[in-house]
Structure 1
């Protein structure tokens, strides 16, 4: 029903409940109508139409848009109560809609399988759904206290929840956390507590509305996964630590072993220089020198690989002619190949092949590949070295018709200490470090190394790829280094005559050897066993020493 009050030029309308109209009219109409109220019942009975207005009954009285006999009284009533009537009508309508909305929300929340809860702006419980009561074993008449969570939350999670709740309420923001709560059977369960802020129509914060799904199974899976990850991480760290300790040990061991080998090799070479070809001890000294050289090479491989794995290798980069580097490596291996009657075929461009690299380290790469090919190729076999350009890279292929590589071993070929089997190790010797060093050095030069083989007994091909050096358009070109082959170098007698040299070495045997070699070349040698002793021997007056005054 639509009830209309007219107050001057203003009209107030509201779809209000009859009892509200009746209350307003009962409070005010008696003052203006008095005893004449009964007289109007007949003339203005329910259902009677006055013009376009249909009268209706409100709590036993009649009300319309005009009363001829009560006109003055009605105007008094409308001026006094019209605005209050409209406000109450609007408020009652809002309350009705709110009650209906709450009923719909309650029905919806009760249909959800997870606990749902509503808090006011102070954190007090205003609503929980049936699932909440079932989960915690609470009946519908349960009264929640101001600190309702204390009996539900795990003691270890209590402070975290209280802090998160206080932050959400004070800052009027979302609440998100996971906590353990006691289920009705006494079991602690992980619940994910998610809540969003609630605001009234005028924007006023009125609390939080949230839900708490049970995530115990998911949490247990996550915790188990975290434990596995933690165990895996600890195992990996332990393995890496052990590997680091091992590499440091190998580096130290190699250095300590290489020092006496240097002395053995040095003195044996000096002895050979002074022995006649038919000296009865010459063969023995040659064996000593050869064995010392082989042992030194093994120690060098161990030291080099350990340094590479620890990131301690620094390249002295310059522009090199890769073709010349290949020719030099072949020259160093020619005698070995001739000793096995092998055909060593070389196909290298005559034009320079510029690359950026460390000459010593590149020679190490080339020497290892050639030495391996010759070692694993039988007598009267064939080793071929080809250098070509392909897709911005120089590719050096070392091919042989030797032992070959089994397909299942190719994947492990460049691993440390890796050889095909124990038989190969015993037959050919070595530690299986050469190819691992080749791979590390090739990668340090921005290149790569690969291997191919048709199988055991079918030979193998090793390929090293290095990027072609090209001068940057805006950069200054580097000068290509030209080196004289070791066999072409001429050493004159007493080449160091008139030269004063300060030799510093903490190993007395090595120092004695260095002093002897230098003095034989005509140098005047001052020996020092430490840096401090060397500084005492130097006359620093008038000299600028880097990092020091004087």
Structure 2
């Protein structure tokens, strides 16, 4: 490959191997050769630098005189050279014609820069590789931004782990005094004939139940988030499960002056679910609907099927959900101002538990509302099962 001087695209080039001239004439437009952002390096077949163009000196700190004739691997950091990444880059370009490679490189002053690079192999008519063209761009700013985001993500994950541990501990600590309180309340109720004491004990027992459910939710959400919950899946007719849920909440709805309505089809809707876990999810939805629906309103528990999915819907004429809250409704501790006003002291845990439980069943849950004061609808989708026990395809 004898060298000679040449002129390509109006530029004066020093002596180069003759078989690299077509590359220069077709792939090195004037714009790129004068670029302040893109560095362009031309290599021979052995990986030695024969041209150092564009922003190469600004990017790497070396002048063309310093770099021409040196192997391109010298701009790689030592660990990458030891692993052979410089040779691998050329091997991939030879095999597939092109190699995209983002990695750390080292400048003349010893500083590391994150470079987004692309190398292409140049071939003569016979197919033999006669050289390579490598285009590089400094993306250190982007890499630093990504590293910061990754660091923040790790911090968030660590914080989430601490939160789970706190919730689990809090749930245990809350449960410990509840049993003695319940026992003491029962003793007072049995040994005291004063009607006022009976009423007070009734209130205490009611609040103990509230605290018990809260403690259970705290422990459950930490287990669910850590994926430590195992399901005992059995085949059930969704209609039967919803009748049980309806019966469990009929009295509380009546006491609040609400009409709790169950609407199911005539035929069975088979699903594979963990019965206690499903009841926990369904109960959270129905209890929320009752809690946030004003006296005189209605709450519907519905069952239907759409294609392969078996659906449970809980709809109410209650407070509704604001557009701002709707996208984060199922996040832990997410609560709207209207919900806090209607039921002070809640922690916004129940819907997060619902989402995790339904997700474990291979289903999904979504919420809809036309806005504050316009009621809400929660839809649980579960994979349906046909009469032969096969999942419905659609």
| TM-score w.r.t. length of structure 1 | 0.52
**In structure 2, how many angstroms separate the alpha carbons of the residues matched to 1:155 and 1:392?**
55
Partner of 1:332: 248
CA distance in 2, matches of 1:191, 1:458: 53
**Inter-CA distance 313–135: structure 2 relative to 1 (3 Å threshold):** same
Stretch of structure 1 that moved more, 308-317 or 437-446: 437-446
Name the counterpart of 1:105: 18
Partner of 2:157: 240
The aligned counterpart of 1:461 is 377
* Partners of 1:376 and 1:415 in 2: CA distance: 18
Answer yes or no: is 1:424 the counterpart of 2:352: no
Q: CA deviation at 1:309?
A: 0.8
Task: Say if 1:385 and 1:397, in contact at 8 Å, map to a contact too.
Answer: yes
- Indicate the SS of the match to 2:325: helix
Measure the CA separation in 2 of the matches of 1:240 and 1:407: 28
Q: What's 1:400 paired with? A: 316
The structure, 1 or 2, with the larger RCO (C-alpha pairs under 8 Å, 6+ apart) is: 2
Q: From the superposition, tell whether residues 227 and 130 of structure 1 become closer, same or farther in structure 2 (CA, over 3 Å).
A: closer
Aligned pair in 2 of structure 1 residues 389, 195: CA closer, same or farther (>3 Å)?
A: closer
C-alpha distance in structure 2 between counterparts of 1:159 and 1:337, whole Å = 68
Q: For 1:375-414, list aligned pairs within 5 A.
A: 375-414=291-330
CA distance in 1, matches of 2:272, 2:120: 63
**How far off is 1:242 after superposition?**
0.8
SS of the residue 2:206 aligns to: helix
1:136 aligns with 2:64: yes
**What is the root-mean-square deviation in Å for CA atoms of aligned residues?**
4.8
Q: Is 2:182 aligned against 1:265? A: yes
Instruction: Quote the offset at 1:366 in angstroms.
Output: 1.9
SS of equivalent to 1:281: helix
Q: Is the 8 A contact 1:383 1:400 kept in 2?
A: yes
Where do residues 356-505 of structure 1 align in structure 2 (5 Å cutoff)? 356-421=272-337, 423-429=338-344, 430-470=346-386, 472=388
**Residue of structure 2 in register with 1:305 after alignment:** 221
Partner of 2:167: 250
Structure-2 separation of matches of 1:158 and 1:354 = 59
Are 2:197 and 1:281 aligned?
A: yes
Residues 449, 465 of structure 1: 8 Å contact kept: yes
| Residues 159 and 411 (structure 1), Cα distance of their counterparts in 2 relative to 1, 3 Å cut | closer
TM-score of the two chains, using structure 2 as the length reference: 0.69
Match of 1:347 among 253, 263, 275: 263
Could you tell me whether the CA contact under 8 Å between 1:110 and 1:129 is conserved in 2? no
Cα distance, 1:411 vs structure 2: 1.6
**Residue pair 1:410, 1:451 contacting (<8 A) in 2 also:** yes
Where do 5+ consecutive residues of structure 1 fail to align?
Answer: 1-96, 139-143, 476-550
Once the two structures are superposed, what CA deviation does each residue of 1:113-166 show, in whole Å capped at 9, x if it has no partner? 66657699xx9x9x967979x95348xxxxx9xxx749x9679669949x8999
Kindly state the Cα deviation for residue 246 of structure 1 after the two structures are TM-superposed.
Answer: 0.7
Counterpart-to-counterpart distance in 1, 2:285 and 2:117: 62
Structure 2 residue runs of 5 or longer lacking an equivalent are 5-14, 34-39, 57-61
Q: CA deviation at 1:472?
A: 4.6
Aligned counterparts of 1:361 and 1:104: Cα–Cα separation in 2: 74
- Quick check: which one's strand share is greater? 2
Please give the alpha-carbon distance, in whole angstroms, between the structure 1 residues aligned to 2:272 and 2:80.
63
Q: Distance in 2 between matches of 1:474 and 1:106?
A: 66
Alpha-carbon displacement from aligned partner over 1:96-129 (angstroms, at most 9, x marks no partner): x9899x9981893887766657699xx9x9x967
When Rg is computed on C-alpha atoms for both structures, the one with the higher figure is 1
- Give the distance between the partners of 1:182 and 1:465, measured in 2 at CA: 60
> Where does 1:187-198 land on structure 2 (aligned, <5 Å)?
none
Q: How does 1:63-82 map to 2 (within 5 A)?
A: none
**Contact 2:330 2:352 survives alignment (8 Å):** yes
SS in 2 for 1:407: coil
Judge conservation of contact 2:313–2:379 (CA < 8 Å) in 1: yes
Partners of 2:120 and 2:277 lie apart in 1 by 65
Distance 2:121 2:203 in 1: 86
